[in-house]
Structure 1
Amino acid sequence: MSTTSPAASLWRAPRWALAVLLAGLATLGPFSIDTYLPAFTGIAAALGATPVQMQQTLSAYLFGFALMNLFHGALSDSFGRRPVVLVGLAVFTLASAGCALAHSIGELVFWRTVQGLSAGAGMVVSRAIIRDMFAPTDAQRMMSQVTLFFGLAPAVAPLIGGVLYTYAGWPWIFWLLVLVGALLWLVNWRLLPETLTPAQRQPFAAGPLLRGYWDLLGNPRFVALVLASGIPFNGMFLYVLSAPVFLGEHLGLAPTQFFVFFVCSIGGIMAGAWWSGRLAGKIAPRVQIRWGFAIMVVVSVVNVSAHALFAPSAWWAFPLIGLFALGWSLMVPVVTLMVLDLAPERRGMASSLHSCIGSAANGLVAGVVVPLVMHSTLALALASAALMSVGLLAWRFAAQPRG
């Protein structure tokens, strides 16, 4: 470990335990999406909601997630990492109880928005914590470990959600999220170190905050790196967002079988994260990023061709999505660290803006793209390839030598 790393003084337990702790924070957002997807039809029937209204429960969550992500990191730069994480977890837990008690689609959309506003605190702040504690090569290894453990929860989330919906009813999915939020709050209250010293804290004032955001948004390389890391993710995520239609209607799977799709996609993320960690310090970061994009390009071409020529089938569709996820997770830890290192004095702010842009893209995909393309597996494949291409072009721009 680098001699400049403060990790040894802040965390005495094994590194993998820190990775599990931070992964729990990072995974809360996707976990709260994946658990309730198998219950879409049942929730709609119980609340008298249309498919479009149910899709709004996703997009409202994602837009709330994106909006508040602008502030989680900046708040942590001013008040410390721990307080922001703990307040976010407390609000998420209360919002999950509101979802469980909702009696109308309007109430559910409202509480899902509050969930989204709070769920991103852990993900945003955990990135800043990693870079606070570790030098670049060790930070890449830790980021990869977090991504590896991060994959475990979403892999089982739809299975748990399907079982709870089938045998207990859809509100119990949200009561489970209440329990998860409460447990995470307790564990982080006991174990999470404060990694930002008082001397490093920035004033939380509107003027400096707006100037900081403006400076980052005015940096073309920052914007390009954010797009390169976040937009390709939507090439896989649109399949997650359209899972009730893609898996239930196009592939004919029952809700309790949805977990097979998530095992393949999350398995790809975990494999790519493991590989990324193994490569840390062994090859140039730009080479690793090129490898990740090369995998996604090849998979996208095969995916579009297969859906154009053959009837959709889970036996080849799922592995292709898993390989796409592998390519994304191979390159994203490196790109994320590049983003944070563009603002070493305001890593929380950089992480906030990074997450906000990515989450806004997720919300647009959920609210606009998915409803347009989920009727056709070929349209889904073409949309996935198009989103990956945006990320590739952004990386090509970011990788250009600067004079």
Structure 2
Amino acid sequence: MTASTDPAPTSTDAPARPTLRITLTLALMAMIAPFSIDTIFPAFTRIGTEFGADEVALQQLVSGYMAAFAVMSIFHGPISDALGRKLVILAGLGIYVLAAIGATLAPSLEVLILMRVLQGASAGAATIVSRVMVRDMFEGRAAQSLMADIMLIFSVAPALAPIAGGWLLLLGDWRCVFAAIGLYAALVIALTLRLPETLPPEDRIPLRVGSILGALAHAARSFTLWRLALAGAFGFATQFVFIASAPILVTDLLKLGEQDFWVLFVPIIIGMMAGSRVVGHARMTRRTLITVGFAAMVAAALVNLVLVTIGPAPQGGLHWSLLFAAIGPMLIALTVAMQFAPVQLEVLDAFPHERGSASSLATFVQLAMNTLLAGVIAPIATTSLTSFALTALGAALIGNLLWLWHARATAVPAGA
């Protein structure tokens, strides 16, 4: 199956090009799920002290959230294909706010973990469906530019979140972190209420279990979906390995403190911003941009490996030697941003009538990859700066090969 060129079923209330309000609202929707994961990292020590929990128990605050998010991510998109986009987003955000209140007031670690599971189950409604709304409303360069801005926020959120979490701890105990993300979700609800519904009733699938599962099955049977989803997942993993293992990298290997996560994440944010600008102003075709992005990502991962191999060991505290550990992640982030948003549009255009289902499945693949990376691969493969670099390079190479396979399999023959 090749990517479709069918026009988007644009809402009659949507402008011809994205406004600042639409861009901000959709970006904040996309940001909420990844932001919720990493904001609590700096609070782990205080949560453990209050509840007498060890690191294994505290990790359930992350794994429980991610597991619930991954399972429900399969259903948010197809349900929005049946009920419309706004209703699904608002319902998910409402549940998320209630869970944030429960987490803020949690009397035990068990209750806190339960609230985190509820947050994970509901957060994907905004993150996943916001991407679909982009393609509902816009097409061509407008859609690509808006998706790049949204993916920038989505990718920067895990990098920004630990910094914000550390600052929130200066205001009070760990409960301030959960109160803050609850207020954030409430703000997104207020902004979402002002958006138009982007899926007209005549374009919706019937609200029946068979119809929803059938839309999922149609996308799941396609090699196009799996090639693109896995290429995007491995591409993002090239950067996510640094984010998922931030506590190890920042505190153990770079020998920094809980307010020093910015040393790693500010360069990543700069790289993502630069990559997003490249996508928004690129004059090449989408497929060419993706190909260039993947090739540049492999090159950036190689540069990172060289830098950490020849660079001096971190001395503890802020020291010029940290440059050797920060430049590589910044370059990787730039190149990941070049291909991440365009790949998402490739997925949506390949399934013009089941965009919600395709977005859900692609997100599930990425979440499964992130969970595997955070829970299994990262603790084993990130014992040194060199092993970090080798893990990132491996993910970049696999992502690049998957994209080249897809591009070759779906290429239009010359003269056709």
With the shorter chain as reference, the TM-score category is over 0.9
CA distance in 1, matches of 2:374, 2:155: 21
> Conserved in 1, the CA contact under 8 Å of 2:290 and 2:338?
yes
The AA in structure 2 aligned to 1:270 is M
> Conserved in 1, the CA contact under 8 Å of 2:95 and 2:122?
yes
Aligned: 1:174 with 2:174: no
Shift of 1:217: 2.0
Shift of 1:185: 1.2
CA distance in 2, matches of 1:64, 1:314: 36
Aligned: 1:39 with 2:47: no
1:204 matched to which residue of 2? 207
Q: Which of the numbers 191, 195, 199 marks the counterpart of 2:198?
A: 195
2:298 matched to which residue of 1? 297
Aligned: 1:278 with 2:281: yes
Aligned: 1:216 with 2:219: yes
The AA in structure 1 aligned to 2:345 is L
CA distance in 1, matches of 2:36, 2:146: 24
RMSD over aligned CA atoms reads: 2.3
Q: Deviations over 1:28-82 (max 9, x none)?
A: 0121123212222222222222223323322221121111111111111000100
Summarize the alignment of residues 248-259 of structure 1 with structure 2, pairs less than 5 Å apart. 248-259=251-262
Aligned: 1:109 with 2:113: yes
Q: Deviations over 1:116-136 (max 9, x none)?
A: 111111121111111111123
> Conserved in 2, the CA contact under 8 Å of 1:73 and 1:349?
yes
Summarize the alignment of residues 234-253 of structure 1 with structure 2, pairs less than 5 Å apart. 234-253=237-256
Q: Which of the numbers 324, 335, 347 marks the counterpart of 1:316?
A: 324
Give the alignment's TM-score, normalised by structure 2.
0.89
* 1:74 to 1:168, Cα distance in 2 relative to 1, 3 A: same
Q: Deviations over 1:273-307 (max 9, x none)?
A: 1110101xx21222211221122111212222333
Higher alpha-carbon deviation: 18-27 or 359-368:
359-368
SS in 2 for 1:307: helix
Tell me, which stretches of 5 or more residues in structure 1 are unaligned?
none
1:143 matched to which residue of 2? 147
* 1:371 to 1:105, Cα distance in 2 relative to 1, 3 A: farther
1:29 matched to which residue of 2? 33
2:3 matched to which residue of 1? none
Taking only the aligned residue pairs, the percentage that are identical comes to 37
Shift of 1:11: 4.0
Summarize the alignment of residues 85-104 of structure 1 with structure 2, pairs less than 5 Å apart. 85-104=89-108
Q: Deviations over 1:139-171 (max 9, x none)?
A: 111112323455676554333311222441111
Tell me, which stretches of 5 or more residues in structure 2 are unaligned?
1-5, 315-320
Shift of 1:380: 2.0
The AA in structure 1 aligned to 2:324 is W
Higher alpha-carbon deviation: 378-387 or 15-24:
378-387
The AA in structure 1 aligned to 2:381 is V
* 1:372 to 1:153, Cα distance in 2 relative to 1, 3 A: closer
CA distance in 2, matches of 1:136, 1:148: 18
Shift of 1:102: 2.7
SS in 2 for 1:27: helix
Aligned: 1:306 with 2:307: yes
The AA in structure 2 aligned to 1:375 is T
CA distance in 1, matches of 2:47, 2:144: 40
> Conserved in 1, the CA contact under 8 Å of 2:84 and 2:204?
yes
